[in-house]
Amino acid sequence: MRQGFRTKTAYLLLGINILLNTLISLVILVPILIGIFNCRNPYIALGIPLLLPLGMTVLASTDLLIGILKFFYINNTRKLLNKEEEYLNSIVNEILLIINSEKNLELKIEQFEFEIIKTRGLEAFAYGKNTICVSEGFLYDENISEDELKAVLMHEFSHLLNKDTIFLMCMLISNLFMKGIGSVGSFWIKGIGKRSEYSRERNNTFVLDIIILIIYFIFVKLLSDTILTILLRVHDRKIEYQCDEFVAELGYRDSLISVFNKFLALERLYGISTSNSLVQILYSTHPKTEDRIRKLEEYTAELTQEISY
């Protein structure tokens, strides 16, 4: 499996996130450590804010933290039944044979884990280091062919092989950390800092409150919640296209397009909005289904043109 992220953009976004976390950590935690906890050791007062953001990002890829996040955010999955495991294993083994042959890898089914999403809808996602979740709908819907299921699983394998899920975990932890530090700053503004020896001795509580409020707004609300989130969503959509292209390279383009057409039918049936509103365009994690179909068709056309030359 790959040792790094898929794109340079992923490293850039992660680096920006760590930098923002470190800056806001220094600005908010240093005064609190000195003021509330009366910390006079500069190594501790500076070391904790400097190391905490990087440490949290590293922890994001550990099994412990992945398990904790799964407990809070992924609670609609279950283990495979025996018949489901037998059926899915046969399909996955075929997929891995294709991936290993086309991509010169040596993947084994034992390297991955699979879970069932408890819904008859058509859903699939990957998370953590090696886990793919697929819905009951993909397994039991008679309108879903085996090749279509293979195409969906190939898409999720692409996420795992390129560590997209680890990148997402690191970004999620970074954002949670930043919001947590922002909450600490808001508590200070509400009066915790005013009771500290640091504030009483220097009589600068009001100025410190204003500084923390400005930093919180700039780094958390403006940069993290708005600008960085929009950049992350652009990256997410680009990755989805690349995973679709991975499926096409393995020879299952038509099957994936067929799945997307079923998605479109469901979107129309249930009146799911596919508008071109600015908010939806900026904050959507996935491209519009029509755009994904168009990209797959364009990719095949380009490939055919290259072969003809």
How many domains does one find in the chain? 1
Q: Is residue 20 part of a domain?
A: yes
pLDDT for 288 beyond 80: yes
Domain presence at residue 29: yes
CA atoms of 230 and 218, how far apart (whole Å):
15
Residue 187 lies in domain: 8-73+169-225
Asked whether residue 119 is domain-assigned, the answer is no
Model confidence pLDDT, tens digit, residues 166-178: 998 888 877 777 6
The mean pLDDT of 290-303, rounded to a whole number, is 83
Contact status, residue 250 vs residue 102, Cβ threshold 8 Å = yes
141 falls within a domain:
no
pLDDT for 197 equals 47
Between 271 and 21, the higher pLDDT residue: 21
Q: Which amino acid is at 203?
A: N
Residue 98 lies in a domain: no
Counting residues of the chain whose pLDDT is more than 90, the rounded percentage is: 43
Mean pLDDT taken over the chain: 82
Q: Is 80 exceeded by the pLDDT of residue 137?
A: yes
**In a domain? residue 205:** yes
In a domain, 263, yes or no: no
pTM: 0.83
Is 44 contained in some domain? yes
Within a 10 A sphere around the Cβ of 193, how many other Cβ atoms? 21
* Distance (Å, whole) CA 80 – CA 218: 46
Please write the tens of the pLDDT for every residue from 197-243.
444 444 455 565 666 667 666 666 676 677 778 888 899 999 999 99
Q: What is the pLDDT of residues 239-276, one digit of tens each?
A: 999 999 999 999 999 999 999 999 998 888 776 665 56
pLDDT recorded at residue 88: 97
